[in-house]
Amino acid sequence: MISIKSLSKIYKSKHNEVKAVDHLNLNIKNGEIFGVIGYSGAGKSTFIRLLNRLEEPTEGEITINGKDITKLGSRSLRKERQKIGMIFQHFNLLWSRTVLENISFPLEIAGVPRDERKKKVLELIKLVGLSGRENYYPSQLSGGQKQRVGIARALANDPDVLLCDEATSALDPQTTDDILDLLVDINNKLGLTIILITHEMHVIQKICHRVAVMEGGKVIEQGDALDVFMHPKEKTTKRFVQQVMGPEQDQAFIESLIKSYESGKVVRLHFVGESTNQALISELSKTFDININILQGNITQTQEGAYGTLFVHLDGTNEEIEKAINFISKTSVEVEVQSYAE
């Protein structure tokens, strides 16, 4: 477990003082993928760099598996850092070294013998999907491939924790998803803890188990990713959720839907985390004598299941519609009949 207590970083200059991280508290469980999201200037980069002391904290504690790393002297810190891998937005590769040599670099520093190094590097190259590219230079690789080298290099010393500093921000959407899939794969296979910072809710939605929202150097909201998606409390969190889900539909939109149908009912379905419910619509149409028309919807997959809203029009006799609504209300999908404002 990683326990962060009252962590602060103040940048002081002659004329002013910036509290980049301000008395931040957080607990991160072993083996989870934990995302920290925030807008530019929220303090995310400073926060993640404090975790391996690329930045020195002004105050606070960072305990990783029982060891307060803020208290370590330089030699023990070097050793501890080998257990904390890091990947970067712009990859930070050595341009004059091949893929193989880049990945080998941290092993050379750790004094691992040549044969062992070679074996380990080839294993890592396979793990990140770069077989055949061993002797390429970074300039001969795509952005996604460069990040794969970065990931392999970060894993070379078998770390317990992988820090990801906006690791997909420089990549196109498809490559972003490929790299996120790779991180999930590594999390599953190696069981290491992944902490990432991002300004994209898509990243949180796709791979994080838990999330913290940062603003002004503080955590303003945190929880299971799915809970935060379903019930965002703070204004900033709501804006992030809208990045993925689009804005909540307003009453005027709902009334325009109702107006379009003279018979039947317009209902709103909330899907809350169980992927099995995806079969709901087909089950309804098979079981009840009704027509179902999907009007509008936005369903997204999180690590914990599906989440989102679907507007459907149910048409048939009142009795059959009631039966269908009754059926839905017994599942974990929430159902709400839409009506005109009072």
Ligand X SMILES: Nc1ncnc2c1ncn2[C@@H]1O[C@H](COP(=O)(O)OP(=O)(O)OP(=O)(O)O)[C@@H](O)[C@H]1O
Interface ranges with ligand X (CB under 6 A): 11, 18, 20, 38, 40-46
Closer to ligand X at the Cβ: 10 or 299?
10
Q: Which residues pair with 221 in a beta bridge?
A: 213
Closer to ligand X at the Cβ: 46 or 302?
46
Q: How far is the CB of 40 from ligand X (least distance, A)?
A: 3
Write the DSSP symbol of residue 139: G
Q: How far is the CB of 44 from ligand X (least distance, A)?
A: 4
Q: How far is the CB of 78 from ligand X (least distance, A)?
A: 22
Closer to ligand X at the Cβ: 15 or 330?
15
Region for residue 216 given its phi and psi (left: phi exceeds 0; alpha: psi -120 to 50; beta: otherwise):
left
* Sign (positive or negative) of CA dihedral 327, 333, 336, 337: negative
Q: How far is the CB of 25 from ligand X (least distance, A)?
A: 17
Interacting residues of 274 by C-beta distance below 8 A, sequence separation 6+: 305, 306, 332
Q: How far is the CB of 213 from ligand X (least distance, A)?
A: 11
Q: How far is the CB of 8 from ligand X (least distance, A)?
A: 12
Measure the CA–CA gap between 294 and 311, rounded to whole angstroms: 6
Name the H helices within the chain. 44-51, 74-81, 99-109, 114-127, 143-155, 173-190, 201-207, 225-230, 235-245, 251-259, 280-287, 318-329
* CA atoms lying within 13 Å on the CB side of residue 295: 24
DSSP 222-234: EEEHHHHHHS--S
Measure the CA–CA gap between 289 and 97, rounded to whole angstroms: 67
* CA atoms lying within 13 Å on the CB side of residue 211: 31
Interacting residues of 280 by C-beta distance below 8 A, sequence separation 6+: 269, 328, 331, 333
Interacting residues of 293 by C-beta distance below 8 A, sequence separation 6+: 312, 313, 315
Closer to ligand X at the Cβ: 49 or 313?
49
Q: How far is the CB of 212 from ligand X (least distance, A)?
A: 12
Closer to ligand X at the Cβ: 48 or 99?
48
Closer to ligand X at the Cβ: 157 or 169?
169
209, two tokens? 């188990």
Closer to ligand X at the Cβ: 41 or 191?
41
Closer to ligand X at the Cβ: 18 or 325?
18
CB atoms within 10 A of CB 21: 30
Q: How far is the CB of 250 from ligand X (least distance, A)?
A: 31
